[in-house]
Structure 1
Amino acid sequence: MATAFSDIQPDEYTPSEQHPQHGVIIGGPAARAKRIEYGILLSSMVLGSLGALYWTIFHATGWVEWSAFLFGFALINMGVGIGYHRYFTHRAFEAGPKMRLAIGIMAQMACQASVLKWAADHRRHHAFADASAMCTAPMSTVTARICQNGKGSVSPISAGCSTTRHRT
């Protein structure tokens, strides 16, 4: 997966439209690579969920499987909520090196991104969160138009935009 857009977005590429918020990518190779990355991640989550559902239906499950599932679910969600969001992004509390390592490992188990990338993306999100029709991901030109003017037949939520104020 691409981690630096400069690696895949040629210097001579100029989008047909400029987004009013710096850093939002509209179209081009970088946006296409991000759509492919998101497609692979979504497909793996769907296939994993279907595999787990199949296993649950056709195999006996006991307290070990269910407790492991609940423990993993709680651990990963605490890693994202406490680790990625509260500690690494907002620095809402202080932690020693061992606790930072434990929180980072719990967060990484979610397979959402590296700690640095997640925190940087979320800080960028908060930089523009109070603006109306804030868009949160690289998009196509159509999605960008929906986000910019807040009009269209597609719901802004399903288009990857947020028209509500976000305070956390």
Structure 2
Amino acid sequence: MIAWRDAGPGDGVALAALFARCFTDTFGHLYAAKDLAMFLAGQGEDGWVQQLADPAYAVRLGEVDGAAVAFAKLGPPALPVRRRGQAAELRQLYVLADHHGSGAGQTLMDWAIAAARARGASELFLSVYVDNHRARRFYARQGFEEVGTYAFMVGTQRDEDILLRMGLRPQTA
């Protein structure tokens, strides 16, 4: 059973390692070793600690027996999208393959939507790799709509990501 909690600066090492493992397991075969290493170097512990200490970011962490297995990171919008109002960006949502189908992705998405609303966002954005069909189907089921494309760099390799948007209605009591 996955135990959920908000992550803090002390979780930087675990999140950097979890991100590197998830990204490599899912996409590592697409890249030359030097490009993958360059990309992962930019996603290291120091960056995680800085973001975890920054109130503009929020990270939800899932653990099994104290080991990190899933996370989602919400932050200020940085994607090249046309915003209609106050927005948030789901920067990352990763679940170790052993926990796919466990409901972890849905739990993290529910958290991200609630956290974005709590921050006053009226829309939520994210990007997803064009050939990540599993994730694209998941986001479509959530109600995200395609609003463009984006060049996502992994080292020197340029990939095409799809930009997605979800309008967030205020929660009713």
TM-score grouping bracket, smaller chain normalisation: under 0.3
What TM-score, normalized to structure 2? Answer: 0.25
Specify which structure has the higher proportion of helix.
Answer: 1
Specify the structure having the higher radius of gyration (Cα): 1
